[in-house]
Each structure stands twice: as C-alpha cells, then as structure tokens.
Amino acid sequence: MKKQSIILSLCLVCALFATKGMTQNNLVLREDNIEAILHAMTIEEKVGLLVGSQEDMMPGAAGNTRPIPRLGIPMTILCDGPAGLNIEPKREGTDQTFYCTGFPTGTAMASSWDVALMEYVTTAMGNEVLEYGADVILAPGMNLHRNPLCGRNFEYYSEDPLLSGKMAAAFVRGIQKNGVGTSVKHYAANNQEINRRENDARISDRALRELYLKNFEIAVKEGKPWTVMSSYNKINGDYTQQKHWLLTTVLRDEWGFDGIVMTDWGVKEGTVKAAKAGNDLMEPGRPIEMERLLAAVNSGEISMEEIDRNVRNILKYIVKTPHFRKYKFSNKPDLKAHAAVARKATEESIVLLKNDDNTLPMKGNEKVALYGITSVDFFGIGTGSGEVNTAHIANMQEAMTAAGFTLDNDLAEYYRLCYATQTTTEKMDGSAIDKRHRPEPTVSVKAIERQAKDNDVAVVVLGRIAGEGADRAVKDDFELTSIERELLQNVSINYHKEGKKVMVVLNIVGAIETASWKNMVDAIVLPWTPGQEGAHAVADILKGKVNPSGKLAMTLPVNYMDAPSSRNFPYTWDMTNGKKGERKNVDFTDYEEDIWVGYRYFQTNKVEVSYPFGYGLSYTTFSYSKPSVKADKEGFTATITVTNTGKVAGREIVELYVAAPAGGLEKPARELKAFAKTKLLSPGQSETLTMKVSAYEMASFNEEHSAWETAAGTYQVMFGASATDIRATASFNFKKAQDWPVHDVLGAPKE
Ligand code: GLC
C-alpha cells in the first residue's frame, strides 16, 4: 500500500509541475492578464518592448514595436501619412500593388470647418490602415500655424487652437473607428522645420497653454488617441521627449491621456530621461537605446516600477491592435470608393477668395486658356513623411477636360512639354530640378494676345510645394516670382482688353502673398493641396456643379513681415549666423509674439490683412437671424438661424467669437470659441445652429496663478461669416468668476 501511495503522490507532483509548466509555457498575452505577462517578462524583454526594431515590417512602414513570441506578444506596425497611408506601392515577388488614397491635406480639410466631414474621410483612411495590415497611422499632424513659412503647415490645420483641436479629434475618431490607432503629433511646439531636432522653442506658459498645447488638449480629450508622438525640439531648454511635466503631469495627470507616448524618429542621448519622463516607446529604435536602459536598470538610474509602467502602457496598447487580434487584412481596400470620398472632401474644403461680378461659376462649355506649369504638375500633397503613394494625382488639364471645358490645346501642349523636359532636366551641377523651386515657364505677350482672342476665359494655376525638413522662403515662395507676376499682368491686360475674365487657382502648401496682385484678376479659388482627386473638385467648382463652402483656417497677411512671428522665424536658412548653439531662430526660437498669432494679433491691433481668418465666399448669400444666448455658471448656449437668401443651394459656416470683459489679463479682441456648418440649404431654406461653450472653454490662462480663469462680467458673443465680417451679436453677464488651477510646471523662464 505504502509503495502505491508513494507512486500516486509522485504522479500527482509530476502532473502539477506539468500543468504549471504547461501554464508557464502557454502564458500568452490576453486583454485580462497584462500583470501576469509583465511578471513573466525578463528585463531584456521589457526593455526590448520600449525600443522599436524596424525589422520585418511591410515596405514603407515607418516603425514597429518588437514581438515577444514566447509570450504571444505580436509585432505592431506604425505607418505615416496624415493625408493617407504612406507605404511602398510595389513589393518584391508580387505583381500586386499597394497604392493608397491621397486625401486632402490637413490645411485643406481644416478649410472645410466640417468636423463630420473629417470623421467621414478618416473612416475611409482608417480602413486602408486596417486592410493594408498596419496598426497605427502616425497622424494627425497638428502643430499650430505659428508662421506662414513653416514647411509642414500643409500637414497641419490652422492658426487657431480650437479649429485645429476639433479637426484633430475628429481625425482620431474616424481612424480609430476601424480598430486601428493614431498618433497626434508633434507634441509640442514643432512650429518650424529648420533645425527641428535641436531647436529650443522658448514660450511663455500662457502661450503654451492657450495656443501650443490647447489643440493637443482638445484632441486628447475629445479624440482619445491611442498614441501621442513627442516632438524632436526642446521647449524652454529641455527636449519635449524628456519633459516629465509635458508627457506625464500635463498629458496624463491633467488631461487623462491613457495611451502610449512615442518619440519622433530620432535617437537622442537622454534615452533614460525620456523613459522616466513618460516617453514609453523609442522610435525608430536603436540597440544603443536598449543598452542604455539595461544599464540604467542595473545602476538604479531608472526603477523597475518606471520600466513596468511604460511596458504596461505598451501592452495595453498592443491588446487593442489588429495584429494582436490576428485580423486577416485583405491588402485590397476599396480605393475606388475612397477616391470618391477624397473628391467629396475637397469639394467641401475649397475656399473661394474672390468672385467679382459673379465671374464664377462658368457655364462649363467655355474655351479655356489654362496657364501655369502647375496646371500639369498639380500638387495633391506636400513632401516628406506626409506623402502618399497614390496610383494617380489628377491635374487641372485632365480635370477641366473631364468637366467639359475645351482647352487651348497649343497652350496645354506647351505646358506638358515644359513639364516633361523640366523634370528630366538637370541643373548645371548635375542635381535634379528641385520641385520646390520649379521655374514657371514664360509665355510671350504675343502668344497671350492671340490666346485672349481665341479663348473665352483664362485660368492661371499657381503652385507652391514644401514639406518636412525645410521651411519656405519669402522671395519667390511666399511672394510671387517675377515670371508669375509678369504672366498675371500680361494675361490680365490682354483678356480684360477683350472683355474676358481671368481667374486664378492657388494649388499651394501654405499661405502666399495675395494683396499685390489680387486686383488684377476677377476670381481666385484656393484648394490648397487637395489630394489625388482635388483637381476634379476644382473643375466642378469652376463650372458650378459644386458651390464652394470652405473658409480660411489661417490669415493671409498683406506682407510676410506683418505676421508678428516673422520677427522670430528662420525664414532664411543661415546656419552661419553666430556660434553653433547660439543662433537665433535656428538653435533657439523666441516666441516673442506670445499669444498674438494670426487673427488674435491682426484683429486686436486692427492690422489690415489681405484675406482674414475664417473668410470664404459662396455662389449664394446667407442671412443670420437675431441670435439667442442663454448663460449660466456652466457656460452658455447660443442659437442662430441661417437662411439661404440666394439663388443656388449652399452651405454656410458660422464662426462664434467671444470678447471677454476688459480688465485683468490682456486678451485678444475676439477668440473663436465655437463654430458650426449648415447642411446644404436650398434657396430660401433655413437651419438653426446651436453652439455650446463651457465656462472652462471661455477661460484665459493666468501665469501668476497658474490657473485657467473665467472672469465675471459682460461677454460679447459675435457670430461671424469671418473674423472680420460679424453678422450678429449678443451679450451675457457671467456672474461669478471661476478658475481651474493646474500644475505650475511648464518651466518657462521667469523674468
Ligand atoms: C519624421 C516626422 C514624423 C514622422 C516620423 C516617421 O521625422 O517628423 O512626422 O511620423 O518621422 O516617419
């Protein structure tokens, strides 16, 4: 008996170990066992999860998180592209292509002022992220348009933090509806490209809170992005990726962010400081970063609690991803359907800046002399990581023809020839023509005289391209080139002599000078960089198939130097201007203009602009009713009825600005606090718009108290068709001041 019981006990013990062993071997990541996984991970595995590897990704992906097969932790894949998924369109060993849809860029989408449209677009974009096997799209790019010349403004939305934040939040919601993630970037104050990896943005607490962090605050709170990308630059002396107050105190403790923070794509010395600050993931990831973290664990420079906190964040992210869910992606998203989405989005975003004597819309059967090399080489998107590999970018020649216009063929042929030779022509030094400075071909006066007789109308397409890694210039970029100016003058003189109209299409990545030439022409249409189908949408607007409803998301100043930030912006790249490390606007940029950016400055100081923030025309007209504003201690609710008083259907954007009572903090004459866009209203049709603004959203930031403050007093509410065209007003009394203290941690250098 004894022997049997011993054998039985031994069997039981073996069974126990086997089960335990099996359980140990089969311990795989689930949504509900993250702590157990964390406990089972070796320190090498933990550190490996904090550093990307860039191995085994699909061609064109930007980065990844490392797999740990032993624990059922999959790799996850991060891809670029605020205007669409950015992956290689062709792969070794297969004839299949992997083109993606080039949607309108950030600035174009923001010009729609249509949050629902943004969500509609990114629902389609997010489907491509899912079906091509990515887990996160590294977007939206959402830094504020501090200055017209930032090379990446096209990826970003606006000079105003509310419009920017609302657009970014909608971008996030649309993408994430597909069960894939986003990365709001570049957090924060990456407002120039020159020396972006080292530039120190020196900003007051108030300007940070009210402008440069405010849009991220809205995006995080209302979008709930899976990830945030810290920027390359410094803020007030320290790298953002190493700033605990930025990544943990403000982002997580104050705003409630519960995702992961990843670096932008570069390795800095302070890997350990970044991990301690709350930067969970180092991208693209280098072995040196793992070595640094392992050494720091051994030396105690970073605690295991801090490592586990970051690893836990990444595991919580991973269990949300398609790769974790083993989603069977098709590699076949419906690009045709998404092209239609892209075209619709552009139709709703194009801004009509000028339309004298109803020059537009045209009938659609006119003979058109189409001028400008950009009519052939149309810019759907800017350059850099924000590019999208699309199967095709429509240009204005094909779009105008498809829309039914007849083009002056000799002229069209001339531009096709110029383009064909230009892109293959090498400069004397052998370098290829840089598209950014592609010269505008000349057209002789004699030819223009003849074309003015042969055609019904002239359309001049002007283009500007820019992108990541460089900022734009004033000469021949913000301002027209002499050839462009000469072309406009000659076309204007000769077509007007024949009693014919001249219109301009601005296919540009960012603001340009318009005041000096806009009176030479009869109409100006601004599609920005409107994606692969944008040219078709422009043609539809020129022929009146679509009524333009976009409005400017940033001010177009008369002169570049009118913009207050221009005194502190590296608009000419001058690395020799002083000792490395001490070069103004290169090594450091002093945000001396503080909160006075865009219309906040121009309106308050009554500085004339060429086209104001929020400006855009329609082919119809709208009336605004007497508004009603009901206020209480929570804030206020405004309602106003808009009626289409014209002859064609159209949509109107109503911008709600607030002027705070005088006294206390100096405040802008008006600040955008809400906006709404009507549905398509038929002639005579009305719609009542309701906009709510909370007491917190009314607040200004008081540095001395390190608190948001809404003062008691009388508030003016303005309902604008633009920042300068106020159609209705109301006022209310906010009875009791309120404040919202925050951590006094932004560390701006105190005077
Ligand atoms: C770049 C960009 C960032 C992009 C990343 C990955 O440096 O700053 O926007 O997402 O690298 O390509």
Same domain, 26 and 133: yes
Provide the token pair at 475: 């000469």
Specify if 588 maps to a domain.
no
Domain end (from 531, 546, 565): 565
Nearest ligand 1 atom to the CA of 155 is 9
Q: Whose CA is nearest to atom 1 of ligand 1?
A: 265
Which residue spans within 127-226 are E strands per DSSP?
A: 136-138, 181-187, 200-202
At residue 664, the pLDDT reads: 87
Specify if 607 maps to a domain.
no
Specify if 611 maps to a domain.
no
Q: State in Å: Cα 216 to ligand 1 middle.
A: 17
Same domain, 301 and 362: no
Lowest mean pLDDT among 327-331, 361-365, 610-614, 718-722: 361-365
Whether 435 shows a pLDDT value over 60: the answer reads no
Whether 314 shows a pLDDT value over 50: the answer reads yes
Q: Are strands 238-239 and 234-235 parallel, antiparallel or unpaired?
A: antiparallel
At residue 341, the pLDDT reads: 98
Q: State in Å: Cα 385 to ligand 1 middle.
A: 6
Whether 120 shows a pLDDT value over 90: the answer reads yes
Instruction: Report the domain count for the chain.
Output: 3
Mean predicted confidence (pLDDT) in 216-235:
98
Which band of pLDDT confidence, cut at 50, 70 and 90, is reported for residue 270? very high
Angle at the Cα of 556 from the Cα atoms of 540 and 370, rounded to 5 degrees: 35
187 close to ligand 1 (CB < 6 Angstrom): no
CATH of the domain at 369: 3.40.50.1700
At residue 19, the pLDDT reads: 41
Cβ pair 426, 432 in contact under 8 A = yes
Q: Which residue has the tokens 């020159």?
A: 194
Mean pLDDT of all residues belonging to the chain? 94
**Dmax of the chain from CA atoms?**
120
138 close to ligand 1 (CB < 6 Angstrom): yes
At residue 439, the pLDDT reads: 84
Whether 425 shows a pLDDT value over 60: the answer reads no
Give me the domain span that covers residue 411: 351-565
Whether 433 shows a pLDDT value over 90: the answer reads no
Specify if 654 maps to a domain.
yes
Q: Tell me the DSSP string of 204-240.
A: -HHHIIIIITHHHHHHHHHH--SEEEE-SSEETTEEG
Which band of pLDDT confidence, cut at 50, 70 and 90, is reported for residue 318? very high
Specify if 608 maps to a domain.
no
Specify if 662 maps to a domain.
yes
Mean predicted confidence (pLDDT) in 78-96:
97
Domain end (from 309, 325, 341): 325
Same domain, 196 and 285: yes
Out of 54, 57, 80, mutate this one to test ligand 1's pocket (max ligand atoms within 8 Å of CB): namely 80
- Greater confidence (19 vs 380) lies with 380
DSSP state of 250: I
Q: Whose CA is nearest to atom 9 of ligand 1?
A: 385
Same domain, 297 and 403: no
Closest Cα partner for 167 from 108, 213, 102?
A: 108
Whether 20 shows a pLDDT value over 70: the answer reads no
CATH of the domain at 632: 2.60.40.10
Same domain, 73 and 113: yes
Out of 138, 182, 387, mutate this one to test ligand 1's pocket (max ligand atoms within 8 Å of CB): namely 138
* Per-residue b or e along 159-176, where b marks 16 or more CB atoms closer than 10 Å to that residue's CB: bbbbbbbbbbbbbbbbbb
At residue 281, the pLDDT reads: 98
pLDDT digit string, tens, across residues 450-498: 999 999 999 999 999 999 999 999 999 999 999 999 999 999 999 999 9
Percent of residues in the chain assigned helix, strand, coil, to nearest 5: 35, 20, 45
Whether 216 shows a pLDDT value over 90: the answer reads yes
CA 57 vs CA 53, 138, 269, 328, 496: distances in Å: 9, 15, 26, 16, 58
Same domain, 48 and 171: yes
Same domain, 539 and 657: no
Which band of pLDDT confidence, cut at 50, 70 and 90, is reported for residue 393? very high
Whether 719 shows a pLDDT value over 60: the answer reads yes
Can you tell me whether residue 64 is helix, strand or coil?
strand
Mean predicted confidence (pLDDT) in 395-405:
97
Q: Whose CA is nearest to atom 4 of ligand 1?
A: 385
Which band of pLDDT confidence, cut at 50, 70 and 90, is reported for residue 1? very low
CATH of the domain at 53: 3.20.20.300
pLDDT digit string, tens, across residues 639-664: 999 999 999 999 999 999 999 999 88
At residue 369, the pLDDT reads: 98
Query: Where does 498-591 have alpha helices with state H?
Result: 534-542
522 close to ligand 1 (CB < 6 Angstrom): no
Question: Which phi and psi (to 5°) does residue 623 adopt?
Answer: -110, 155
Same domain, 168 and 207: yes
Beta bridge partners of 625: none
Q: Whose CA is nearest to atom 11 of ligand 1?
A: 265
Cβ pair 339, 101 in contact under 8 A = yes
Return all residues near 595 (Cβ < 8 A) that are at least 6 apart: 204, 206, 207, 210, 211, 668
Nearest-angstrom CA–CA distance, 601 and 562: 10
Specify if 196 maps to a domain.
yes
Same domain, 361 and 489: yes
Nearest-angstrom CA–CA distance, 257 and 172: 14
| % residues pLDDT > 90 (the chain) | 90
CA atoms within 13 A on the CB side of 684: 0
Nearest-angstrom CA–CA distance, 537 and 380: 12
Kind and range of the H or E run holding 459: strand 457-463
Nearest-angstrom CA–CA distance, 608 and 633: 37
Mean predicted confidence (pLDDT) in 325-333:
98
Out of 264, 267, 388, 389, mutate this one to test ligand 1's pocket (max ligand atoms within 8 Å of CB): namely 264
Nearest-angstrom CA–CA distance, 299 and 718: 60
pLDDT digit string, tens, across residues 684-704: 999 999 999 999 999 999 999
| % residues pLDDT > 70 (the chain) | 93
Cβ pair 620, 652 in contact under 8 A = no
Mean predicted confidence (pLDDT) in 2-9:
57
Same domain, 312 and 236: yes
CA 617 vs CA 477, 486, 653: distances in Å: 25, 27, 10
At residue 26, the pLDDT reads: 83
Same domain, 89 and 158: yes
62 close to ligand 1 (CB < 6 Angstrom): yes
Angle at the Cα of 80 from the Cα atoms of 75 and 85, rounded to 5 degrees: 100
Q: Tell me the DSSP string of 2-37.
A: HHHHHHHHHHHHHHHHHHHHHHHHT----TT-HHHH
Same domain, 528 and 451: yes
Q: Tell me the DSSP string of 66-118.
A: --BGGGTB--EEEEE-TTS-B--SB-TT---B-----PPPHHHHHTTT-HHHH
Q: Are strands 200-202 and 227-230 parallel, antiparallel or unpaired?
A: unpaired
Please state whether the peptide bond connecting residue 361 to the residue before it is cis, i.e. omega within 30 degrees of 0: yes
Which band of pLDDT confidence, cut at 50, 70 and 90, is reported for residue 423? low
Domain end (from 565, 582, 598): 565
Whether 227 shows a pLDDT value over 90: the answer reads yes
Which band of pLDDT confidence, cut at 50, 70 and 90, is reported for residue 743? confident
Q: Whose CA is nearest to atom 7 of ligand 1?
A: 265
Whether 21 shows a pLDDT value over 80: the answer reads no
Specify if 276 maps to a domain.
yes
Cβ pair 555, 159 in contact under 8 A = yes
Nearest-angstrom CA–CA distance, 605 and 283: 43
Nearest-angstrom CA–CA distance, 43 and 40: 10
At residue 580, the pLDDT reads: 86
pLDDT digit string, tens, across residues 545-594: 999 999 999 999 999 999 999 999 996 656 677 888 889 999 999 999 99
Mean predicted confidence (pLDDT) in 8-21:
48
DSSP state of 58: P
Which residue spans within 619-662 are E strands per DSSP?
A: 622-624, 628-632, 635-644, 653-659
The residues carrying an active-site annotation are 264
Can you tell me whether residue 290 is helix, strand or coil?
helix
Can you tell me whether residue 537 is helix, strand or coil?
helix
At residue 579, the pLDDT reads: 86
